[in-house]
């Protein structure tokens, strides 16, 4: 089955590169560094390192506290962080600079993965969440390389997809050294694919282990001072096409009843920044762009940079989490919760089934299904600031009570880490 998978990928290769080229129309970086995606790297690349793969921005931000603690506890451990996207690459450089080696993970062609492993000769492969690339994992197993999947989760929908390729999925599971999952339900789903008891552990989600640096706290305080003239601030974070329009509609409804409000809208992907700006202009909404530093008295701030959501959540009275008013499965609400900000979500949050039900059960999160119901919830918070604070505190308690996954994860990694140069 793995041979058939490899052949199928080669057949698809023209379409894969066509997709990269087309994405380059919006983000030019997709047309660069293609040799890395084929497993070709510079001659002086660092070898014998721990490879940590984070697909894109979300995984990198979630894994950063874990990686920083690894670097503190194991200062002699060489680390290479890989990703798939230009925005992910930018975040790795922004957060870690030259303290780690960074390259793209190659596309999962058999030859590309072989070149990658030959060139880097890693000590172990660590994969965040469920980026399960068959050739990478199976070839690593053949070389006796430890493969550890951390912060793993598997939805019922994804399980059914893997079950369509039962033989390949069983081979994948057999090739893993250890899988550290969010909860027992996730482990049970992986077991249905062939994972064995001795290959799994339940550690919780590292996304709960959010650490607010002093730099972040200072940025929040500085922005609060700049926005002191607004009576109600709400953030719409990680929004998508089809959702921007609904956010703008809710904003216009809210402005009919509430004065002196500020919406901070942060599209999920950089290629959406200009499109969101166009939608705001077409709706005749006065807005500023964060990158231009031109906010005066506008009622909308377009957050058109990456990696600054903690700062925006820190000044908000409530936060809508995107990818939920359309069928995208939602995004991570824990950054807002960690800052004691009450959360609003649409009905689609299946990607975070381990988080949202907890928040909703404690009345730290409200569910809406349309611009009008979103506006109604915003109005409640605008008119009842004490309610927003109370629900925000409940959100924070949930984050606090679920902390500890990073320490457990490091204990799982410990046998594969270098304690001396």
DSSP calls for 49-106: -EEEE--SHHHHHHHHHHHHHHHHH-TT--EEEEESSHHHHHHHHHHHGGGSEEEEPP
What pLDDT, on a 0 to 100 scale, did the predictor assign at position 420?
64
Selection from 131, 114, 92, 102 nearest residue 33 by Cα: 102
Q: How far apart are CA 230 and CA 263, in angstroms?
A: 10
What pLDDT, on a 0 to 100 scale, did the predictor assign at position 308?
92
Selection from 195, 250, 226 nearest residue 315 by Cα: 226
In degrees and rounded to multiples of 5, residue 353 shows phi and psi of: -65, -20
pTM, two decimals, is 0.85
Q: How far apart are CA 275 and CA 248, in angstroms?
A: 13
Q: How far apart are CA 340 and CA 393, in angstroms?
A: 5
CB neighbour list of residue 284: distance below 8 Å, 6 or more residues apart: none
CATH number of 26-209+404-416: 3.40.50.11720
Cβ-contact 304, 290 below 8 angstroms: yes
Strands 343-345 and 365-367: parallel
Q: Where are the domains of the chain?
A: 26-209+404-416, 214-401
Cβ-contact 314, 220 below 8 angstroms: yes
313 DSSP assignment: H
Cβ-contact 344, 368 below 8 angstroms: yes
Structure tokens at 378: 């915003």
What pLDDT, on a 0 to 100 scale, did the predictor assign at position 47?
94
363: left (phi over 0), alpha (psi -120 to 50) or beta: left
Instruction: Tell me if residue 129 is catalytic.
Output: no
Tens-digit pLDDT profile for the chain (421 aa)? Answer: 789 999 999 999 999 999 999 999 988 999 999 999 999 997 789 999 999 999 988 899 889 999 999 999 999 999 999 999 999 999 999 999 999 999 999 999 999 999 999 999 999 999 999 889 999 999 999 999 999 999 999 988 899 999 999 999 999 999 999 999 999 999 999 999 999 999 999 999 999 998 888 999 999 999 999 999 999 999 999 999 999 999 999 999 999 999 999 999 999 998 899 999 999 999 999 999 999 998 998 999 999 998 899 999 999 999 999 999 999 999 999 999 999 999 999 999 998 988 999 999 999 999 999 999 999 999 999 999 999 999 999 999 999 999 999 999 999 999 999 776 5
Catalytic residue among 36, 59, 243, 394: 59
Asked if 26-209+404-416 and 214-401 have one fold, the answer is yes
Longest Cα–Cα distance of the chain, Å, equals: 65
Selection from 192, 176, 151 nearest residue 352 by Cα: 151
Q: What angle separates helix 110-120 from helix 134-142, to the nearest 10 degrees?
A: 50
The distance from CA 116 to its chain's CA centroid, rounded to whole angstroms, is 25
Q: How far apart are CA 306 and CA 53, in angstroms?
A: 19
What pLDDT, on a 0 to 100 scale, did the predictor assign at position 1?
72
Count of other CB atoms within 10 angstroms of residue 14: 9
Strands 365-367 and 318-321: unpaired
CB neighbour list of residue 87: distance below 8 Å, 6 or more residues apart: 27, 56, 57, 269, 270, 306
Q: How far apart are CA 208 and CA 227, in angstroms?
A: 28
Q: How far apart are CA 121 and CA 33, in angstroms?
A: 21
DSSP calls for 120-155: H--SEEEEETT---HHHHHHHHHTT--EEEEEE---
The architecture of the domain spanning 214-401 is: 3-Layer(aba) Sandwich (3.40)
Q: How far apart are CA 124 and CA 62, in angstroms?
A: 20
212-242 burial, b at 16+ Cβ within 10 Å, e below that, comes to eeeeeeebbeebeeeeeebebbbbbbbbbee
Selection from 55, 59, 52 nearest residue 84 by Cα: 55
Q: How far apart are CA 140 and CA 138, in angstroms?
A: 5
């Amino acid at each position: 089955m793995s041979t058939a998978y490899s052949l199928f990928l080669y057949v698809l290769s023209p379409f894969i590169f066509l997709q990269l080229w087309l994405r380059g129309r919006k983000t030019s970086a997709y047309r660069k560094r293609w040799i890395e995606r084929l497993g070709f790297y510079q001659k002086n690349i660092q070898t014998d390192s721990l490879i940590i793969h984070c697909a894109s921005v979300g995984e990198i931000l979630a894994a950063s506290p874990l990686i920083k603690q690894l670097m503190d506890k194991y200062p002699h451990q060489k680390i290479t962080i890989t990703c798939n996207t230009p925005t992910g690459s930018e975040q790795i450089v922004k957060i870690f600079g030259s303290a780690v080696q960074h390259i793209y993970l190659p596309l999962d062609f058999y030859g590309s993965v072989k070149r990658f492993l030959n060139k880097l000769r890693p000590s172990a492969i660590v994969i965040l969440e469920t980026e399960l690339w068959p050739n990478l994992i199976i070839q690593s197993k053949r070389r006796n390389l430890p493969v550890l999947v951390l912060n793993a989760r598997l939805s019922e929908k994804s399980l059914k997809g893997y079950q369509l390729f039962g033989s390949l999925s069983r081979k994948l599971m057999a090739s893993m050294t250890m899988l550290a999952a969010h909860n027992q339900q996730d482990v049970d789903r992986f077991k249905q694919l062939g994972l064995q008891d001795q290959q799994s552990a339940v550690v919780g989600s590292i996304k709960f282990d959010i650490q607010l640096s002093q730099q972040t706290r200072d940025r929040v305080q500085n922005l609060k001072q700049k926005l002191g003239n607004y009576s109600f601030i709400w953030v719409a974070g990680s929004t998508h096409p089809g959702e921007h329009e609904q956010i703008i509609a809710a904003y216009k409804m809210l402005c009919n009843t509430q004065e002196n409000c500020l919406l901070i809208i942060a599209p999920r992907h950089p290629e959406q920044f200009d499109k969101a700006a166009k939608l705001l202009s077409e709706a005749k909404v006065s807005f500023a762009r964060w990158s231009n530093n031109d906010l005066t008295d506008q009622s909308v701030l377009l957050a058109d940079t990456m990696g600054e959501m903690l700062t925006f959540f820190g000044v908000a009275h409530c936060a809508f989490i995107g990818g939920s008013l359309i069928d995208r499965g939602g995004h991570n609400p824990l950054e807002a919760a960690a800052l004691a900000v009450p959360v609003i979500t649409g009905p689609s949050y299946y990607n975070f089934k381990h988080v949202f039900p907890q928040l909703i059960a404690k009345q730290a999160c409200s569910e809406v299904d349309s611009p009008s119901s979103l506006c109604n919830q915003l109005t409640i918070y605008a008119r009842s600031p004490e309610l927003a604070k109370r629900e925000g505190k409940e959100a924070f308690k949930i984050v606090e009570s679920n902390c500890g996954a990073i320490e457990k994860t490091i204990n799982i990694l410990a046998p594969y880490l270098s304690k001396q140069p």
